[in-house]
Amino acid sequence: MQKLKPLSRVLVLHSDFCLLTSTAIPSAILSTMDAITLTRQLVDIESISGNEAAVGNYLYGELTRIGYQTRRMPVEGDRFNLYATSPEQPNPEIVFSTHMDTVPPFIASSEDAVRIYGRGSCDAKGIIAAQIAASERLRREQLYVGLLFVVGEERDSLGARVANEYAAAQQAHACKYLINGEPTENRIALASKGTLRVEVTASGRMAHSAYPELGESAIDKLLDTLTRLRAMPLPTDPEIGPCTLNIGLIEGGRAPNVIPDYAHADLLYRLIAPSQDLRRQILETAGDQVKIEFPLELPFLRLRTVDGLPTMIASFTTDIPKLTNWGEALLIGPGSIHVAHTDGEFIDKQQLAEAVDLYCTIAKTLL
């Protein structure tokens, strides 16, 4: 049984994930659409990437209970996306979307007068709560949007890829706009930097460390290559900012007294333009003593905006490049990316409330 731990009482999910409560404390969705309470309930369901089934089942049960046509979209194993629409408009022109998964480790919720804390509070369970609240408000005004909550955004965007295939297969799919939620402090993104992942692998020959001349150090080759790559000039844009490099992982060697025959590094570039020139520059700078592979790229994107809203440049990537069949994309959400993925992750309650208003305003503008 999956247990939820809201503000004042434990709520227990039955095996079919319909909410069972005492009569004293109704569900946050069922009663006042309290986005603060819902955020805490979602945070308290651990959903690290690969383990999203429990939070997906909770949302499925609650959205179905309040009248949405809610579909589980199988992804992998017991993992699934959720797509919820109103019976009055099963093929909406606008869909609110974000992700259900979080990075590790799990951190339970807490709050003070101004903030909600915990893993996923801003990235992106508070955003889920704000989008559901906005959808409910619009529904009362007879304006209907869809809700798309996906898995795997923090790892490989697998849920987004499956959702894109789903949209392509639906003949009645009529979505024109995707309002994607990520922590942008309620500013609408003009653009989102892309991602280019680079794997650098060096090979050598083992030998006793007392006789280095008999071996060939893969680590020395890797270090020389990384030094050149770090010194390589990267492009910049006066509006978007610089392309940046992070050397995120280095591994190699056998033991301190063994000349290493293997070394590997994972690099991540944040893109501000198409990657062809950068790829060529990386290969030329790295030289022929290492093997270079490019296992992942998410492109740099310029995004649709809405007049009158404060703007920002998202230096991070999102699921948007994998959701091309869901219409023209906008990117906005409460919370700061600067605290996402930290042990002190939080979302301001005031920003959460403002996000509900913003999502409604943007939807009305687009409709």
Q: What is the pLDDT of residues 309-352, one digit of tens each?
A: 999 999 999 999 999 999 999 999 999 999 999 999 999 999 99
Structure confidence at residue 171 as a pLDDT band (50, 70, 90): confident
- Residue pair 243/307 in contact (Cβ under 8 Å)? The answer is no
Q: Looking at residues 119-142, what average pLDDT do you find?
A: 96
pLDDT (0 to 100) of residue 173: 86
What mean pLDDT value characterizes the chain? 91
Q: Is the pLDDT confidence value at 27 over 80?
A: no
Q: Output b/e per residue, 275-305; b: 16+ Cβ within 10 A.
A: beebbeebeeebeeebebeeeebbbbbebbb
Is a pLDDT exceeding 50 seen at residue 8?
Answer: no
Residue 175: Cβ-neighbour burial (10 angstroms; 0-12, 13-18, 19+): buried
d(CA 162, CA 318): 15
Provide mean pLDDT across the span 174-199.
Answer: 97
User: pLDDT at position 174, please?
Assistant: 86
As a whole-number percent, the residues of the chain with pLDDT over 70 amount to 91
* The pair of three-digit structure tokens given for residue 21, joined into one six-digit string: 């409560």
**In percent, how much of the chain has pLDDT > 90?**
89
* pLDDT score of 12 more than 70: no
Residue with tokens 């404060």: 310
pTM of the model: 0.86
Residue 95 pairs in a beta bridge with 146, 178
- Distance CA(284)–CA(281), nearest Å, equals 5
Lowest mean per-residue pLDDT among 27-31, 104-108, 200-204, 260-264: 27-31
pLDDT reported for residue 162: 98
Cβ 359 vs Cβ 130: under 8 Å: yes
Burial 180-218 (b: 16+ CB within 10 A, else e): bbbbbbbbbbbbbbbbbebbbbbbbebbeeeeeeebbbb
Six token digits for residue 9: 């009482």
Please determine, for residue 11, whether its predicted confidence score (pLDDT) is greater than 80: no
Tens digits of per-residue pLDDT, 80-98? 999 999 999 999 999 999 9
Helix (H, G, I), strand (E, B), or coil: what is residue 62? Answer: helix
Q: What is the arithmetic mean of pLDDT over 185-202? A: 97
Let me know how many helices (H) and strands (E) the chain has, helices first: 7, 21
Statement: residue 136 has pLDDT above 50: yes
Rg (CA), the chain: 23
**For 51-69, what is each residue's pLDDT tens digit?**
999 999 999 999 999 999 9
**Long-range pairs, 113-116, Cβ under 8 A, ≥24:** 114/348, 114/349, 114/350, 115/346, 115/347, 115/348, 115/349, 116/36, 116/39, 116/40, 116/43, 116/346, 116/347, 116/349, 116/352
- The pLDDT confidence band at residue 29, using thresholds 50, 70 and 90, is low
Choose between 26 and 228: higher pLDDT.
228
Q: Can you name the residues that pair with 106 across neighbouring β-strands?
A: none
Average pLDDT over residues 149-178: 94
pLDDT value of residue 34: 86
Catalytic option among 46, 52, 153, 345: 153
User: Which pLDDT score is estimated for 5?
Assistant: 40
pLDDT at 16: 32
Q: Return the minimum-mean-pLDDT range out of 29-33, 260-264, 288-292.
A: 29-33
Query: Which tokens go with 23?
Result: 């009569």
354 is catalytic: no
Backbone angles phi, psi at 290, to 5 degrees: -135, 165
- pLDDT surpassing 70 at residue 1: no
